[in-house]
Structure 1
Amino acid sequence: MKEFIDKTIILWDCDGVILDSMEIRAKGFRDVLRAFPEEEVDLLLNYHEENGGLSRYVKFEYFFETIRKEEVKKQVINEYSTAFSNIMKQELASRSRLNQEVIDFLVDNHERFKMHIVSGSDGDELRYLCKKLGVSKYFLSIEGSPVPKIKLVEDLMKRNNYVNKETCLIGDSVNDQEAAQLNNIDFFGYNNLELEKSGKSYLYSFNEA
């Protein structure tokens, strides 16, 4: 694609880009928080939709401390996150959840670009799913939470001595955009037309020449 003519490294978000998972993740939050009032869970889902690139650890903390206004121990956050992850490993391990046009791009271009996943999803869960779905081979590394995405990108750039102008990040959330901007690399929005309004580069389809 012409958008990547000056790039050699592509960093990928996963949810909503490689994997059609947003609906399943919303259901997962409802399932693990079913003991709480529905209106409180609705507020969390609004936050989840507006901050797709943030980790579940941040979202569960937001649920308890901001929505419910109660202190929560890290152990409790980890317990809810583990329960959530177990649901995701079952529900998202189907190749029908993969975004086929993105997979086609990965298949055709994984030798042309150095490619990595930097995701707000749990890193261990993500590596499990990528292996199960047969896409791990297209990426040099697959990293996720609990490390924030901004830090994941920063560490990856330093560790590999990547050149900023040769690197870009593809994502579907304002958090992805922020991670790219704060690390001084180009950002391409995808699968979220709200990002098109920001005036930044936007990819309508990977099927375009």
Structure 2
Amino acid sequence: MLIGKKIFNLQKSYGPKINLKYSIKTSREIGAINMKLNSFKQYDLVIFDCDGVLIDSNLFKCEAFGKSVSEYPDNIVESFVDHCKKTFGVSRYVKFREFFNEFAIESFDETKYQLFLNRYANLCKGLYHEADLTPSVERALSLLNHSGYKLFVASGSDEEELIEVFEKRNLINYFINIYGSPKKKTECVSVILEDNPGLKAVLIGDALSDLEVSKEHNLDFIYMSKYTVQSKEQDKICRNEAKIVIDTLEDLF
């Protein structure tokens, strides 16, 4: 896939215009960027995880899980937070259900469950606006977008929250669509692939759950390691099985 391919119309009515500060302007720059995009020429479509790939939010979100169940003893909260780190990418809807049986050792309580979800959602709204974007996010998205790649987000985070945050942070128009929970990440990827038959896709993620989703759908996986919060063992698996390992998106360009 070469620079100059027809640009997809991503100017959605509900979001701001793409930040053209990152537009490609000179033929010399186009040539240099084309060389760096060689590894992407085999793909038509790029699927991004959000947390730890586009936004440096992993640690904040792990802390938010703990704060959401803070009335429980410290050892239970700490064990739950550690579990959340090891299963990053799995949605809150699953994790808070697991909390009852696996950590609090009590029967599921719908009222408490909704309370935990509401607390977590309120914490996330604040942290998403405070957390930094990962290095060169806008440049990477702009280069890929203007090179004709179809860009999507498939995340374990809440879909409505993601759309709101991406609108406010002027990122939304880089993407064809943004998908998140309550759908599982594998379901999000299924929707993307079903809507784009015949196109070759790559998934960029920072967790073992992302690698597993890529395997399930027979996709190449790019492992972005800098902001991962998973265990050393999980990190090693991702490094060994990824098509490419990068520190941040800067390494792609």
Q: TM-score w.r.t. structure 1 length?
A: 0.91
Letter paired with 1:129? V
3-state secondary structure, aligned to 2:215: helix
Runs of 4+ in 1 over 6 A off after TM superposition: none
**Percent identity between the aligned chains?**
26
Per-residue deviation at 1:161? 2.1
User: RMSD of the alignment, in Å?
Assistant: 1.8
1:203 aligns with 2:246: yes
Q: Is the 8 A contact 1:11 1:118 kept in 2?
A: yes
Inter-partner Cα distance in structure 2 for 1:206 and 1:28: 26
Task: Kindly report which structure 2 residues correspond to 1:137-176, keeping only aligned pairs within 5 A, or say none.
Answer: 137-163=173-199, 166-176=200-210
Unmatched segments (≥5 aa) in structure 1? none
Give structure 2 stretches of 5+ with no counterpart.
1-36, 229-234
SS at match of 1:98: coil
Work out whether residues 126 and 144 of structure 1, in 8 Å CA contact, stay in contact via their aligned partners in 2: yes
Following TM superposition, by how much is the alpha carbon of 1:204 offset from its aligned partner in structure 2, in angstroms? 3.1
Alignment equivalent of 2:135, drawn from 79, 100, 105:
100
Structure 2 letter corresponding to 1:148? K
Q: Deviation at 1:47?
A: 1.1
Secondary structure of 2:203's match? Answer: strand
With over 3 angstroms needed to count, the CA separation of the structure-2 counterparts of 1:148 and 1:199, relative to structure 1, is closer
Q: Secondary structure at the match of 2:54?
A: coil
Give the 5 Å matches for 1:131-142. 131-142=167-178
Query: Matched residue of 2:249: which SS?
Result: coil
Contact 1:11 1:169 in 2 (8 A): yes
CA distance 1:132–1:2, change in 2 (3 Å): same
Structure 1 residue identity aligned to 2:201: T
Query: What is the alpha-carbon distance in structure 2 between the residues aligned to residue 162 and residue 133 of structure 1?
Result: 32
Larger radius of gyration: 2
Give the superposition deviation at 1:100. 2.7
Q: 1 CA distance for matches of 2:198 and 2:52?
A: 25
The answer (yes or no) to whether the contact 1:93–1:129 under 8 Å persists in 2 is yes
Count of aligned pairs: 206
